C-alpha cells in the first residue's frame, strides 16, 4: 500500500511499481487509464469525462463521482512535459501544483507524486489517504493490464 506524507502545504507520495516507465507514463496520459485509477478508492471517473491535451498550456480534466453520487469536475493545466519522466500541472483555481516523476528502477519504476501549494482544505490526513489510494489504484490498473496483455519485456 502507498503512503503519502503531509508537511505544511506539501503532500508527497512514493511508490515502486512493477510496470516499466513507458507504461506508467501512458497511464498518466491516456484518458482510459486516467479514468481507471484517478478516483482511487473514494470516487469513480467515467472515461467519457476525461480530456487530455498533452502540451504545455494544454488541459486535462475529468469528472469524479463520489459514492453518494456527488460529481465534481477537476481541471488541470500542464506546465511542463518531459516524456516519459515528468509531468507538472497546476489546478488553476487553487494554484495547487502537482509534479509526477517517473524514474526507471530495478524491476520497474519509482513513482513520486509531489503536490505543493495545497489549499487549507486539502492539508488533511484524508487528502493524504486519497492520494495514496490513487497510487494504489494505479498499481492495480497496471497489474490488471499486465495480466490481460501478458508481461512486458
* Axis-axis angle for helices 21-29, 125-149 (nearest 10): 120
Q: For position 152, what pLDDT does the model report?
A: 46
Which domains are assigned to the chain? Answer: 3-148 (3.30.530.20)
- What tens-digit pLDDT sequence spans the chain (153 residues)? 788 999 999 999 999 999 999 999 999 999 999 999 999 888 999 999 999 999 999 999 999 999 999 999 999 999 999 999 999 999 999 999 999 999 999 999 999 999 999 999 999 999 999 999 999 999 999 999 876 655 544
Q: For position 153, what pLDDT does the model report?
A: 46
Amino acid at each position: 500500500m502507498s503512503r503519502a506524507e503531509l508537511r505544511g502545504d506539501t503532500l508527497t507520495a512514493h511508490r515502486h511499481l512493477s510496470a516499466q516507465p513507458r507504461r506508467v507514463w501512458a497511464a498518466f496520459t491516456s484518458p482510459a487509464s486516467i479514468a481507471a485509477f484517478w478516483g482511487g478508492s473514494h470516487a469513480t471517473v467515467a472515461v467519457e469525462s476525461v480530456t487530455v491535451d498533452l502540451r504545455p498550456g494544454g488541459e486535462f480534466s475529468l469528472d469524479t463521482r463520489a459514492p453518494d453520487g456527488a460529481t465534481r469536475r477537476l481541471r488541470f493545466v500542464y506546465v511542463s512535459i518531459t516524456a516519459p519522466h515528468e509531468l507538472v500541472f497546476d489546478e488553476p483555481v487553487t494554484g495547487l501544483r502537482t509534479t509526477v516523476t517517473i524514474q526507471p528502477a530495478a524491476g520497474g519504476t519509482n513513482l513520486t507524486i509531489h503536490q505543493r501549494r495545497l489549499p487549507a482544505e486539502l492539508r488533511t490526513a484524508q487528502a493524504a489517504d486519497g492520494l495514496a489510494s490513487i497510487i494504489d489504484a494505479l498499481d492495480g490498473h497496471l497489474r490488471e493490464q499486465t495480466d490481460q496483455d501478458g508481461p512486458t519485456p
